[in-house]
A and B are shown apart, each in its own frame.
Chain A
Amino acid sequence: MKTPTLQALGFRTVSLVGHLGCIVVFIGEVVTYAVRRPFRARRLVNEVFDVGVLSLAIVCLSGATVGAVLGLQGYNTLSRFGAEGSLGAVVGLSLVRELGPVLTALLVTGRAGSAMAAEIASMVTTQQLDGLRMMSINPVDFVVTPKALAMLIAMPMLNALFIVFALFGGYLVGVVLLGVDSGVYVASLEHAITFEDDVAGTLLKSGIFGALVGCIATYRGYISEPTSAGVSAATTGTVVTASVAVLLADYVITALWGV
């Protein structure tokens, strides 16, 4: 059974490379229309609403919860060494460096990324994109770029909000519940985190994640089959691909940047 498998492998590889080419062209178009007039501010505002505002609830809630868990776990571990005073630093560093950008990206992928892909895919099914082409309007310019851009803009902000809520969650558990001194918590937090090493890194990461998820979600929607099954495939495919991409990118950035 080696030959059919080899053939299948070869076919897959060729189609993957072709696919990659399509993706690169697609991203090139998205970027081109992002920097070119007209800037479509109104559409951008609407998209930021869909991605950002509508994701606020889940991001903030998850943030507070994750922070609380970190506070609890951190306290349990640190108290064995008598180092409860460093709780702020432990919670803060884990959040800023890794958990904030990655968890925010995964949450937003599930909520807004899948919605984005589904919307575009259903526009393909109902020929709305063809309609735009017939009006001499480029669908990437009109539909895709505002969405991808909105994801890029909203992600760092959602990340920051996640971290802030999580720090608060950690504070609630550590200080209010478990008795760590509030001044010590805040001081160790502020001491351990520096802008250059940590905060800049988190903003960079969430920016890159935003761009990744935005491009993957819109691409999946754009190339979907014009059927209901196509919409569903676009949605689930987005969540899977974007999640994996975020985790891989996280590794690469952490390795290169040393964040």
Chain B
Amino acid sequence: MQASPKRDLTVGLFVMLGLAAIGYLSIQVGGVTYSGPGGLTIYATFDEVGGLKPRAPVAVAGVSVGQVKRIELDSDLRARVTLDLDPNLELSADTSASIRTSGLLGDQFVALEPGSEDEILRPGEEIAYTESALLLERLIGRFVHDSGVRTD
């Protein structure tokens, strides 16, 4: 094998290109949906979380401020969601959390709507007002059922 600097360079470039492509796919495309600081842990309990998954975004006024860390069932058989938020965030104690869908067929995320109280939610505290996920099937079912009743 001739020691060809040109060949070495080409192979080196190829490897770099390949790694860059892998990096792009891993980080930019597949990466964390929220890439800001985390640390502030807040809990919210819902009757129904629908398709919400861990690492789903948490947004305030449409701006991503954190992600869903964990979803577990509590003793009342309701879904307890752990939110990992930007520590600089100051949420009022009467903040409400609802589960929304981005677009019609998109993934679900948690939307936080700030309230009017002066008191701030402290780390580890629970959000009092939650609105469960809207399940399309239930909506359709209700619509069908209601229209069925009406024609009775």
Q: Using a CB–CB distance below 8 Å, which chain A residues touch chain B?
A: 42-43, 45-46, 48-49, 52-53, 56, 81-83, 85-86, 92, 96, 154, 156-158, 160-161, 163-164, 167, 188-195, 198-199, 202-203
Contact = CB atoms under 8 A, between A and B. Distances in A.
A28 B114 CA distance: 63
Contacts of A81: 105
Contacts of A56: 14
Given A46-B7, A96-B29, A189-B29, 17 more contacts: A42-B3, A48-B11, A48-B15, A53-B10, A82-B104, A92-B29, A156-B22, A158-B18, A163-B21, A164-B21, A167-B29, A188-B106, A191-B102, A193-B29, A195-B27, A199-B30, A203-B22
Contact of B7 (A45, A160, A189, A193): A45
A229 to B, nearest CB: 29
B3 A199 contact: no
B17 interface: yes
The majority secondary structure among interface residues of chain A is helix
B24 A164 contact: yes
Contact of B30 (A46, A82, A193): A193
24 contacts: A46-B7, A52-B11, A53-B11, A56-B14, A83-B103, A86-B106, A92-B29, A96-B30, A156-B18, A156-B22, A157-B21, A158-B18, A160-B18, A160-B21, A160-B25, A163-B21, A167-B29, A190-B28, A190-B30, A191-B33, A191-B107, A192-B107, A193-B30, A198-B30
Interface string B73-113: 00000000000000000000000000000111111000000
Contacts of A96: 25, 29-30
A190 B1 contact: no
Contacts, number: 90
Interface in B3-48: 3, 7-8, 10-11, 14-15, 17-19, 21-22, 24-31, 33
Given A46-B1, A157-B19, A158-B18, A190 B29 contact: yes
A48 B21 contact: no
Contacts of A199: 25-26, 29-30
The majority secondary structure among interface residues of chain B is helix
Given A53-B10, A191-B107, A195-B31, A161 B26 contact: no
Given A56-B14, A158-B18, A191-B106, A163 B25 contact: yes
Among B11, B24, B27, B33: residue with most chain A CB under 10 A: B11
A201 to B, nearest CB: 10
B15 A43 contact: no
Nearest to A192: B107
A234 to B, nearest CB: 23
A160 B29 CA distance: 12
B124 to A, nearest CB: 27
A115 to B, nearest CB: 17
A96 B22 CA distance: 11
A192 B14 CA distance: 28
Contacts of B1: 42-43, 46
Contacts of B69: none
Contacts of A92: 29
Instruction: List 5 A-B pairs, minimum CB-CB distance, nearest first.
Output: A157-B18, A160-B21, A195-B30, A199-B30, A160-B22
